[in-house]
Amino acid sequence: MHLPEACDFVVFGGTGDLALRKLLPALYQCVVEDRLPADTRVIAVSRSELDDDAYRSQVRLALAEHVSPEHHDLGAVERLLSQLHHVAVDVEDDHDWHTLFGMLKDRPGAENTVRIFYLAVAPSLFGPICRHLGQGGLADAPARVVLEKPIGHDLASARAVNDVVGSVFDESQIFRIDHYLGKESVQNLLVTRFANTFLEPLWNSHSIDHVQITVSETLGAGARAGYYDRSGAMRDMVQNHLLQLLCLVAMEPPIEIGGGREDVRDEKLKVLQALRPMRPEDVDRDTVRGRYAAGWVAGQPVPGYVEELGEAGRDSLTETYVALRAEVQNWRWAGVPFYLRTGKRLDRRASEIVVVFKDAPYDPFRQREGATEPNRLTIQVQPEEGMRIHLNAKEPGPGGYRLKPVSLDLSYANAFDKRSPDAYERLLMDVIRGNMTLFMRRDEVEAAWAWCEPILRHWESSAMPPKTYPAGSAGPTASFTLIERDGRSWQES
């Protein structure tokens, strides 16, 4: 692939956790692999009074911490550091901007240079940043702006964020990141579905019984409990990551993937629009929200969420766990439930999609020993990336048929002798190249909020606390009832 043109990559919030832990290590890998032209500048912005050298020292330490030792290349570190700059700007102060603007405008060939503005700051700062960039004449194409979650905490606030950014940047310049879409296994789901023929005839309600999407974390809210309490699992995980995964499973084949067209985003939007709306009685029946109590994780006692919150915990009704049953109302998926669940402080760290096929229509092995299981396709998103097909097989041996479930494993690590890049590496290069396929469009984000909002509203109006589950467990009992009452069970790979 050809090297992109040099650009100015401005990171607002360049001293923050996201920048130091994710963005700079991703840019470092781009340097290692010669994908970042040497005359690209990475300009970090924060209020801290740091000169370039002081900022470079911070980044050197961050790379030492966040890049694994076997991928540490001192030459590449120095190359990246030489491309880094820091400019102190309080983005809420009208008078602080001239140094940054001067740097961007005085560059030779500035009028044709792509400028990327990555907003790794609180969403309340998106407005002031965009306004200043617009007033400074820096928002015209080929400028691009990258937004991180959260994009709003409900439909109205998401629209407000989109309006503020959209008043300065055109939608074709706005890259909304959902880092799940940058994961190799998630993109491989598109390849598996649309570059192979064997699945497509089965990928519908005739052959598929149901789909499960799980994002399970062992970490708790911990020191970030105060911040987390304003969102909760529904806003933090379901509205974006889980619904995006659902879209990729359920979408129709797009005309083109990876080019400059809108097909993938158009098809994902149609899925979101086809989700069965949740009425209050549906919310009561088809959703479960939970909150971890004290328990044990990896042999250590850990406090409950309410204790982590301290004083504020007394009044909190925030959920750290959600399970729900969704339906996509269209020809392909009518009658196929999509069970989604996500939570903190659970018994395992795993993100996976399990597609469970229907039982064979007839069982000729009536004299067999051993039970058969429905076929399953499991797409593992983390910690390991890969794919597994579960089949029934004959156990070797004479006399009769002993059947046993076995799995065909495609582990990325084993199949490809290559480092699996972090999601941000892929996504940052897509921003630099101007490829929007893996970024959420405004209408997608708002359609996802429109579906989630009645659930959130009904939970709020009921004023019932979430159901508790012990830290280190598999979630609240009600989440098992949710799926078991349909005669199904959660699949643990």
Q: Which residues are catalytic?
A: 241
Q: Which is nearer to ligand NAP, 33 or 92 (CB)?
A: 92
User: Is 13 near ligand NAP (CB under 6 A)?
Assistant: yes
User: Is 17 near ligand NAP (CB under 6 A)?
Assistant: yes
User: Is 48 near ligand NAP (CB under 6 A)?
Assistant: yes
Hey, what's the torsion of the CAs at 104, 107, 112, 114, to 10 degrees? -50
**Cα separation values, 259 from 19, 105, 144, 254, 430, Å:** 28, 30, 18, 11, 11
Q: Which of 332, 357, 336 is nearest to 252 (CA)?
A: 332
- What crossing angle do the helices spanning 52-66 and 74-83 adopt, rounded to 10°? 140
Per CB under 6 A, which of residues 359..418 are in contact with ligand NAP?
none
Query: How far is the C-alpha of 149 from the C-alpha of 123, rounded, in Å?
Result: 8
371 phi and psi angles, rounded to 5 deg: -90, 150
Query: How far is the C-alpha of 99 from the C-alpha of 84, rounded, in Å?
Result: 15
User: Is 91 near ligand NAP (CB under 6 A)?
Assistant: yes
User: Is 65 near ligand NAP (CB under 6 A)?
Assistant: no
What distance, in Å, lies between the first and last C-alpha atoms of the chain? 36
- What crossing angle do the helices spanning 24-32 and 423-433 adopt, rounded to 10°? 80
Taking CB under 6 A as the binding criterion, the range among 116-124, 238-246, 267-275, 439-447 that sits at the site for ligand NAP is 116-124
Question: For 40-66, b where at least 16 C-beta lie within 10 A, e where not — what string?
Answer: bbbbbbbeeebeeeebbebbbebbeee
Interface pick for ligand NAP out of 7, 9, 15, 338 (rule CB under 6 A)? 15
User: Is 62 near ligand NAP (CB under 6 A)?
Assistant: no
Interface pick for ligand NAP out of 84, 138, 148, 354 (rule CB under 6 A)? 148
Closest residue to ligand NAP: CB criterion: 16
**Cα separation values, 480 from 73, 351, 397, Å:** 48, 18, 37
Residue 180's identity, in one-letter code, is Y
Q: Which is nearer to ligand NAP, 13 or 475 (CB)?
A: 13
Q: Which is nearer to ligand NAP, 23 or 297 (CB)?
A: 23
Q: How far is the CB of 44 from ligand NAP (least distance, A)?
A: 8
Interface pick for ligand NAP out of 5, 52, 73, 90 (rule CB under 6 A)? 90
CA–centroid distance for 306 within its chain: 26
Asked if residue 248 lies in contact with residue 286, where contact means CB atoms within 8 angstroms, the answer is no
Asked if residue 171 lies in contact with residue 428, where contact means CB atoms within 8 angstroms, the answer is no
Residues touching ligand NAP: how many (CB under 6 A)? 24
User: Is 164 near ligand NAP (CB under 6 A)?
Assistant: no
As given in the structure block, the two tokens for residue 281 are: 């009685």
Strands (E), 25-95: 41-46, 84-88
Q: Which is nearer to ligand NAP, 148 or 286 (CB)?
A: 148
Taking CB under 6 A as the binding criterion, the range among 9-17, 183-191, 472-480, 481-489 that sits at the site for ligand NAP is 9-17
Taking CB under 6 A as the binding criterion, the range among 83-91, 152-160, 180-188, 273-281 that sits at the site for ligand NAP is 83-91
Q: Which is nearer to ligand NAP, 24 or 297 (CB)?
A: 24
Q: How far is the CB of 91 from ligand NAP (least distance, A)?
A: 4
Interface pick for ligand NAP out of 76, 81, 89, 190 (rule CB under 6 A)? 89
User: Is 123 near ligand NAP (CB under 6 A)?
Assistant: yes
Query: How far is the C-alpha of 108 from the C-alpha of 97, rounded, in Å?
Result: 20
Residue-by-residue DSSP string for 403-456: EEEEEEEEEHHHH--SPPPPHHHHHHHHHHHT--TTSB-HHHHHHHHHHHHHHH
Q: Which is nearer to ligand NAP, 103 or 294 (CB)?
A: 103
Q: How far is the CB of 168 from ligand NAP (least distance, A)?
A: 17
User: Is 122 near ligand NAP (CB under 6 A)?
Assistant: yes
Q: How far is the CB of 169 from ligand NAP (least distance, A)?
A: 18
Interface pick for ligand NAP out of 34, 65, 92, 284 (rule CB under 6 A)? 92
User: Is 421 near ligand NAP (CB under 6 A)?
Assistant: no
Q: Which is nearer to ligand NAP, 51 or 200 (CB)?
A: 51
Q: How far is the CB of 132 from ligand NAP (least distance, A)?
A: 11
User: Is 170 near ligand NAP (CB under 6 A)?
Assistant: no
Query: How far is the C-alpha of 308 from the C-alpha of 285, rounded, in Å?
Result: 30
Judging by beta carbons within 10 Å of its beta carbon (0-12, 13-18, 19+), is residue 428 exposed, middle or buried?
Answer: buried
Interface pick for ligand NAP out of 16, 258, 405, 465 (rule CB under 6 A)? 16
Query: How far is the C-alpha of 460 from the C-alpha of 471, rounded, in Å?
Result: 24
Interface pick for ligand NAP out of 7, 27, 114, 120 (rule CB under 6 A)? 120
Residues that bind ligand NAP (CB under 6 A): 13-19, 22, 45-48, 89-92, 120-123, 125, 148-150
